[in-house]
Chains A and B, each alone.
Chain A
Amino acid sequence: MTSSLGALENNSATDATEIPLEELLQTEYIPASHIANQISNAASAVSIVTAQDIKDYGYRTLSEILSSMRGLHVPQSYTYSFLGGRGYPSNEYAGRIIVLIDGYRADDSMFGQAYLGNDGILDVALIDRVEYVPGGGSAGYGDGALLGAINIITKKGSDISGTQVALGFGSRHGRQQRVSFGEKLDNGANLLISASSFNANGSIEKDGDNDEENKRLFAKYDAESFSFQGAYAKRQINHPTYSAIDSLVYGDENAFALFKYNTDIASALKLSSSFWYGHYIYSSDYLDPEVYRYESENIAQWHGGDAKLIGTWFDNHTISLGVGYRHDYRWQDRGTSFDMIFNDVDSYDSSYQPRKTYSLYAYDDFAISPSLSLNYGVRYEKSNNDVKRILSPRASLIYQPWDESILKLSTGVSNRQATQSEGEWDKPERAKTEELVLEQQLGWQTKLIGSLYRYRISDRISYGNTECIIARGAEVEIEKHWEEGIRLRTSYARQNTKNSNGERLGQSPSHLAKFNLSTPLWNDQLRMSAEAQYTGKYLPYTGSSNYHDAYTVVNLNLLARKIAPNLDINVLAHDVFKKSDKEKTTYLPQSGRTFWLQLEYTFQ
Chain B
Amino acid sequence: MRQLVLFLIFVVSFLRADALPEYTIKAAYLYNFALLTDWHDGKMSGDFNICFYKEDFGSASNALNNKVLHNQNVKISTVTTAEETKECQIVFIREGEEQRGEKLIQKLAGTSVLIVSESPKISDAHITMLRDNRKIAFDINLKPIKAADLSVSSRLLKLARRVEQ
Per the 8 Å Cβ criterion, residues 14-39 of A in contact with B are 14-17, 19, 21-22, 24-32, 34, 37
- Min CB distance, A566 to chain B, in Å? 12
Are B135 and A27 touching (Cβ within 8 A)?
A: yes
A445 to B18: give the CA distance in the assembly, Å. Answer: 25
A37 touches B96 (CB 8 A): yes
CB of A17 within 8 A of CB of B31, answer yes
Q: Chain A nearest CB: distance from B31 CB in Å? A: 4
Instruction: Tell me whether A11 and B21 are in contact in the complex, defined as CB-CB below 8 angstroms, given that A34-B96, A526-B15 are known contacts.
Output: yes
In the complex, chain A residues whose CB is within 8 Å of the CB of B22: 29-32, 483, 485
Select which of A483, A524, A526 is within 8 A of B60 by beta carbon: A483
Q: Is B134 a contact partner of A28 (Cβ separation < 8 A)?
A: yes
On whether the beta carbons of B21 and A30 are closer than 8 Å, the reply is: yes
Using known A-B contacts A483-B59, A522-B12, A571-B7, determine if residue A27 contacts B21 with beta carbons closer than 8 Å: no
A445 touches B19 (CB 8 A): no
**B153: min CB distance to chain A, Å:** 10
Contact B4 A571 (CB under 8 A): yes
Interface residues on B, range: 35 or more
A17 & B11 in contact (Cβ 8 Å cutoff): no
Instruction: Report B-chain residues with C-beta under 8 Å of the C-beta of A28.
Output: 18-20, 134-135
Let me know if B20 and A4 touch, CB within 8 A.
Answer: no
Which residue of chain B is the closest to A8 with respect to CB atoms? B17
- 1/0 contact trace for B113-150 toward A, CB 8 Å? 00000000000000000010011110000000000000
9-residue interface stretch from A290-298, A380-388, A557-565, A581-589: A557-565
B64 at the binding interface (Cβ < 8 Å): yes
Q: Report the separation of the CA atoms of residues A560 and B94 in the bound assembly, to the nearest whole angstrom.
A: 28
Chain B residues with CB under 8 Å of A526's CB are: 11-12, 15
| Residue of A whose beta carbon sits closest to that of B7 | A571
Alpha-carbon distance A591/B11, docked complex (angstroms): 29
- The answer to whether B20 touches A403, judged by C-beta atoms less than 8 angstroms apart, is no
Give 8 nearest A-B pairs by CB, closest first. Answer: A444-B58, A16-B28, A28-B19, A523-B19, A17-B31, A32-B22, A29-B22, A483-B23
* Interface, chain B (partner A; CB < 8 A): 4, 7-8, 11-12, 14-25, 27-29, 31-32, 36, 54-60, 63-64, 67, 80, 94-96, 131, 134-137, 155-156, 159
Give A contacts to B, CB under 8 Å. Answer: 4, 7-8, 11-12, 14-17, 19, 21-22, 24-32, 34, 37, 403, 443-445, 482-485, 522-526, 558, 560, 563-564, 569, 571
